Amino acid sequence: MVDPSINKHGNRLDRLQLVVLTGLMFLGAAFVFSATMVNPLEATKAWYGQTWFHQVIWYALGFGAGAVICLVDYHVLARWSVVVYWAMIFCLVLVLIPHIGSMRFGARRWIDLGFFQFQPSEFAKLAFILALANFLSRPPEELRIPLNFWKGIGLMMLPFALILKEPDLGSALVLVPTGLMMMFVAGTPKRYLMKLVGAGSLVAALFVADILFAPPSLQISMQPYQRDRLLVYFGRDYTDFAPPNATPAELQRIHQQQLDDEYNVRQALISVGSGGLAGKGWRHGTQNALGYLPRAVAHNDFIFSVIAEEEGFVGSVIVLALYAVILFSGLRIAGQARDRLGKLVVVGIVTLIFSHVFINIGMNIRIMPVTGVPLPLLSYGGSSVLCSLIALGLMQNVYIHRKGY
Amino acid sequence: MLIFDELKKNDPQLRFVAVALAIGFCILLAGLWWVQIVSAREYRNHLETQSYRTVRIPAIRGKILDREGRVLADNRPRYNLNLYLGDLRKEFNASVNQSLARAHGAQRQEIAAQEKKLGRALTKNERKQFALSTEELTQLRTGARFRVADSIVSQIGGQLQQPLSLNATRFARDYDTRLALPLTILPDLDQTFVARYEENSFADSGTDLEIQSVRNYPLGTTASHLLGYVQRDESSVEGEDAYFSYRLPDYRGVVGIEGGYDSYLRGRAGAEAVLVNNLGYRQTENFWNQPEAGHNVVLTIDLDIQRAAEASLEQHRGPDARAAIVVMDVHSGDVLAMVSSPTINPNYYTGGLSPDENQKISAALADPKLRPQINRATQENYAPGSIFKPIVGLAALEAGLNPDALVDNPGYIYVGRRHIGDLAPPGQYNLRRAIIESCNTYFITIGLRAGIENVVRMAEKFHFGERTDLPTRQETKGVFPTLKQVKSSDWHDGDSANICIGQGEMAVTPLQMAVAYSAIANGGTVLWPRLVEKIESQDPTSGETPTIFPTGLVRDHLGVSAHNLKILHDTMLAETVEGTGKPAQVPGLQICGKTGTAEVMNEHNVKIDRTTWFASFAPYENPKYAVVVMVESGTFGGPTCAPIAHDIYEEILKKENTSASKVLAAAN
């Protein structure tokens, strides 16, 4: 069974993916520009100091890093993956230590390197994929051994727990479908996975039920903002959770708190919805310009609502289509991979990127809770852009060293 | 498609991944379709309500003009000194940050002091009690913003040489509720302050002058009752957007022409949409509807005659006289002057007067006797007294009275057992002498002889006891018995006798008497009085055809013989030549008139006051004008009212002569 495209393309890169990738980066730069230039402070900076230009620099750096990755056979990379994995775990522990990890928006996620706010969780996702792929690439028979199954789970739970501690629920959660999907593709017996998913769902359901319906005294302790986000997502009234002896002033304050928390979600929805079919045109969105969509998040976590407001349903579909091309062509690469290791790496990357896209866009249209997950390649942010491009480089790497070559 | 090739391949795991991805994309697509296509309108409405504030912009109110186009009511510019809070955002932020920093500094010091005292570091919970509460923070911010605004205001006050200060509560309220609108710090600047403001440069201070249009009555009290007044009212009228976030000051006419023609005068308010940002500061504005200016109302009033009547009344009776004057064109029914006294300067209601004047008016408004708010020409019932006698005489003549037949007056008359006195000296009276000397006995005798039904029928043709349908919302219909009433068993000859001398069960308004005397003068046509000549566009170049109200609108015909009217005219002319109406005489003008002095009774039938009248028309040969003067608490109609009528006729004559000479000059 020989794919005709192999002969056609020879040793070269997957061009379609590259073209689409370039398109996404172009969109990203354009809308980071649109989202940030409405801020008069931003507009008065020199062009090389402006956010969109920083984003372009990150694209260039990320593209370079991706190209470098392509030069080394992924088998070599996989051999080093264990080292990288534990290095990243070390970073994740480091970031939790006060004075090393820097605090922003109530979360300790960054290590300040002066020129760059290094976010270990982004890189940990990649290290995790490589390490898990390396671990799962052993013969399928060995995967039937329960101990190996639990080892795989352990590889996933270690960064999961550390990232959750930061706290960064979104980044932690994307590890779960990625890991499970890789284990499934590797050939881990279905009954193990089914049991795990069943048990996980049960725990998650109990957890959500506890947050939503249990009296305050019985609730699992959680970061207040995370609890609030869940409450917002499930449309619960905060005042139901007020202490029984709350004064009217306190109830009023709690209600105000609810309005504030719902604010971002509501404004994102208004942005997306008011875009309509064709949108208002590039740089003509009002939600962002007037500051209803908070300026702090408009160009990163909520970049999609800026695109959707300015380019409408048409723009949203184009963005979805671009991601679809990248992901499905990624699956094609997985199908052509030389060995199970390559296939698993690509499946991991595809699932990771898709999880980001689904959670981020889903949060903009209120089908997912607000969790602060960036939209790969479009959201502003050095770590996210670098990781996305390195991941895509890995995918190309697998393509270059595909079977029959 | 190339990218779906994997699905065809025999790799169930990858196919599962592809299907999962496809389902995920479909969910997102469906969600986006729902939000952006199906619910787009809903979200756009959300967007509009949160980011637009609509402001009602009143239209420029129409003017009120006299028949020659002279201004009775217009609008004057009012300069308000405004503070634009949006321009002060930077200063506000700086001040707030400074205050916060100071508060935090103080907080740290307190904590340090406490730690020193205890000799250990405070725990997290102990630190908490030093933290600022939400209310304190709010207060801190409000205070910081207020200090910025207040310092600017007092600085400007210094340069204007007028101490200015800002009310903290009002500032906080306006900041919270109407941030998109400017805050007025000094309303209604006079010219000196406007000049001082313009001289000093306040370019960056966040202040500016705003021009508002305010209703203005340049002639003050002139024709004030007729004009009526306006009140602040920003509510939407029919056919206008009903929902506005803010409304700029507007006025609504309450009574008088301002009230009756309010819908024409006020025009159509426009709407402005102000785009605001998430903090409520104004970004841009654009008009949704331009306001449409109101229409001018041109009155039938002749300003010269109106002012002459007012001046004469004030000269003879003083400003507190309770009196009314109506001057009417007997052929067209045009009201040429309508005076009611005492007056209120209508600028009082729009805040255009000094505090002293305001106080005086408030005192007058509270006075139960002066009652300056009512229009005495149309809004109050008065007994006509003797000025009703010509109408009784006309009814008797029509019923066959011989005007030369004599009636003996012993100085009183008994009707039934009732004694009615007569001020006319005892003697023999015909119609002419009875009019001249206003003989009660004569008119009671001829009236009863002709029958009260005939008098009532005649009064019905004059439409006493009915409204004249003025548009001013200040009209009473008067009182007059109906035929049915006078035929009932409750009606006695004594009641009939009272009617014959204009007393008892009847009451009129000065305007009704002017209409009646016009009918006597013009040969028997009862007209609808006309106050408004036309309604026209404020812009003479608009090409809009003005609405012209028909002149000489006939209400009824008396159906009396010309001969009888001639007899009546002759006797009334004699009244001003040799009777009590003498003081009305004007050289070169023959005036037919009748004086009257009616008694005002209280509920116990005790005389408490008198109403004096002079009702007339002129010239005798070819009547053109009817003049009715009524003064409450006068002495007698002759000495009290006739001199005022004299002044009015003099003005009319002067006007006729000048216009005649103008016509002559034009002809030459």
Q: What is the pLDDT of residue A32?
A: 92
B5 against A264, higher pLDDT: A264
The verdict on B36 touching A (C-beta cutoff 8 Å) is yes
Average pLDDT for chain B: 88
| Average confidence (pLDDT) over B103-131 | 81
Whether residue A261 is predicted with pLDDT greater than 50 in this model: the reply is yes
| Cα end-to-end span (Å), chain A | 14
Beta bridge partners of A209: none
Task: Decide: B571 and B432 in contact? Cβ < 8 Å.
Answer: yes
Question: Mutation test of the interface with chain B: which of A6, A44, A253, A328, choosing the one with the most B Cβ atoms within 10 A?
Answer: A328
Cis peptide before A167 (omega within 30 of 0): yes
Long-range contacts for B634-638 (Cβ within 8 Å, ≥24 apart)?
B634/B317, B634/B597, B634/B610, B636/B580, B636/B595, B636/B597, B636/B612, B637/B385, B637/B386, B637/B387, B637/B580, B637/B581, B637/B595, B637/B596, B637/B597, B637/B612, B637/B613, B638/B579, B638/B580, B638/B581, B638/B582, B638/B583, B638/B595, B638/B614
**Peptide bond between residue B425 and the one before it cis (omega within 30 degrees of 0):** no
Instruction: Tell me: pLDDT of A151 over 80.
Output: yes
- The values of phi and psi at residue B447, to 5°, are -65, -45
With tokens 């005709």, the residue in question is A4
Q: Which pairing describes strands B335-341 and B183-189: parallel, antiparallel, or unpaired?
A: unpaired
Two structure tokens written together for B275:
């785009």
Query: Where do we find the tokens 């002559």?
Result: B664
The confidence band for B239, taking pLDDT boundaries of 50, 70 and 90, is low
Please tell me the predicted confidence (pLDDT) of residue A235. 64
User: What's the confidence (pLDDT) of residue A368?
Assistant: 85
pLDDT for residue A8: 45
d(CA B444, CA B346): 45
Q: B27 — contact with chain A (CB < 8 Å)?
A: yes
Of all residues in chain B, the percent with pLDDT exceeding 90 is 52
The torsion defined by the Cα of B110, B113, B117 and B119, in degrees rounded to 10, comes to 110
pLDDT, tens digit (0-9, with 9 covering 90-100), for A269-328 = 899 999 889 888 888 888 887 777 877 778 888 899 999 999 999 999 999 999 999 999
B12-40 pLDDT tens trace: 888 899 999 999 999 999 999 999 999 98
Pick from A328, A192, A7: nearest CA to B8: A328
CA atoms within 13 A of residue A276's CA, in its CB half-sphere: 11
Please state the rounded mean pLDDT for residues B44-49.
84
Q: What share of chain B is helix, strand, coil (3-state, %, to 5)?
A: 45, 20, 35
3-state helix, strand, coil in chain A (%, to 5): 70, 5, 25
Q: Among A63-67, B151-155, B345-349, whose mean pLDDT is lowest?
A: B151-155
Nearest CA to A172 out of A351, A354, A350, A372 is that of A372
Mean pLDDT of A90-95: 90
User: What angle do helix axes B452-462 and B389-398 make, rounded to 10 degrees?
Assistant: 110
CA distance A270 to chain B (A): 5
Interchain proximity B21–A328, CB inside 8 Å? yes
> Which pLDDT score is estimated for A56?
94
Q: Do A276 and B279 touch (CB under 8 A)?
A: no
Across A366-384, average pLDDT: 87
In this structure, the number of other CB atoms found within 10 A of the CB of residue A396 comes to 23
pLDDT (0 to 100) of residue A11 = 58
As a whole number of angstroms, the distance between CA B336 and CA B316 comes to: 21
* Interface contact flag, A347 B44, Cβ < 8 Å: no
Contact B3 A328 (CB under 8 A): yes
Whether residue A257 has pLDDT greater than 80: no
What DSSP string runs through B61-117?
PPPEE-TTS-EEEEEEEEEEEEE-GGGGHHHHHHHHHHHHHHHHHHHHHHHHHHHHH
Rama region for A35: left / alpha / beta (φ>0; ψ in -120 to 50; rest): alpha
Nearest to B309 by CA among B376, B354, B385, B256: B376
CA-to-CA dists, residue B182 to A158, B186, B207, angstroms: 59, 12, 9
- Which range is least confidently modeled, A355-364, B286-295, B374-383, B480-489? B286-295
Please answer yes or no on whether B6 and A347 come within 8 Å at the CB atom.
no
Mean pLDDT of B541-562: 91
What's residue A239's pLDDT?
Answer: 67
Rounded Cα distance between A54 and A62, Å, is: 12
Q: Is B2 on the interface with A (CB under 8 A)?
A: yes
The secondary element (H helix, E strand) that includes residue B247 is strand B246-247
Q: Do B276 and A290 touch (CB under 8 A)?
A: yes
| pLDDT at residue B277 is higher than 60 | yes
Give the containing element (helix H, strand E) for B276. strand B270-276
Q: Is the pLDDT of residue A241 over 70?
A: no
Number of Cα atoms under 13 Å in the Cβ half of residue A349: 32
Using CA coordinates, name the residue in chain A closest to B9: A335
Label each residue of B520-531 as H, E or C. HHCCCEEECCEC
Q: How far apart are CA B135 and CA A252, in angstroms?
A: 13
Q: Work out the angle between the directed axes of helices A340-364 and B12-33 (0-180°, nearest 10).
A: 10
List of chain B residues whose C-beta atoms are within 8 Å of the C-beta of residue A273: 35-36, 39-40, 42-44, 46
Tell which wins on pLDDT, B381 or A140. B381
Residue of chain B with shortest Cα separation from A327 = B21
**pTM of the prediction?**
0.69
The 10s digit of each residue's pLDDT in B60-79 is 899 999 999 999 999 988 88
Question: How many residues are recorded in chain A?
Answer: 405
Task: Enumerate the H helices of B161-229 as residue ranges.
Answer: 168-177, 191-199, 224-227
From the candidates A194, A251, A287, A332, which should be mutated to test the interface with B, based on the most B CB atoms within 10 A? A332
Which pLDDT belongs to residue A223? 67
Asked if A318 and A348 count as a contact pair (C-beta separation under 8 A), the reply is: no
Distance from CA of A372 to the nearest CA of B (A): 18
Taking residues B449-472, what's their average pLDDT? 93
> Which is higher by pLDDT, B271 or A348?
A348
Instruction: Pull the structure tokens for residue A242.
Output: 């007020």
Where do runs of H (alpha helix) occur along B250-302? 256-260, 262-265
Which residue in this structure is represented by tokens 């040799």? B578
d(CA B91, nearest CA chain A) in Å: 16
Pick from A316-320, B85-89, B576-580 the range whose average pLDDT is largest.
A316-320
- Does residue B134 sit at the A interface (CB-CB below 8 Å)? yes
Provide the angle, in degrees to the nearest 10, between the axes of the packed helices A382-400 and A15-36.
Answer: 170
B146 in Cβ contact with B171 (< 8 Å)? yes
The DSSP bridge partners found for residue A110 are: A102
Give the integer Cα–Cα distance in Å for B272 and B242: 13
Residue type, A208: V
The structure tokens 């040793």 sit at: A11
Give the one of A187, A308, A329 whose C-beta lies nearest to B36's C-beta: A308
Which range, A263-272, B147-156, B624-633, is most confident?
Answer: B624-633
Asked if residue A166 has pLDDT above 90, the reply is no
Structure tokens at A77: 């990379």
What pLDDT, in 10s, does the model give residues B598-613? Answer: 988 888 888 889 999 9
B26 touches chain A (CB under 8 A): no
Over residues B557-581, mean pLDDT: 93
**Which helix (H) or strand (E) covers residue A20, if one does?**
helix A15-36
Task: Choose the weakest-confidence range: B186-190, B381-385, B644-648.
Answer: B186-190
Among all residues of chain B, which has the CA nearest to that of A276? B36
User: Which position has the higher pLDDT, B188 or B306?
Assistant: B306
Burial class (CB in 10 A: 0-12, 13-18, 19+), B113: exposed
ipTM for this prediction: 0.89
Average confidence (pLDDT) over B208-223: 87
Q: Which residues of B touch A193 (CB under 8 A)?
A: none
Q: Say if the Cβ atoms of A350 and B13 lie within 8 Å.
A: no
d(CA A221, CA A209): 14
Q: What is the tens place of the pLDDT at every residue in A316-336?
A: 999 999 999 999 999 989 988
Q: What are phi and psi of B548, to 5 degrees?
A: -105, 130
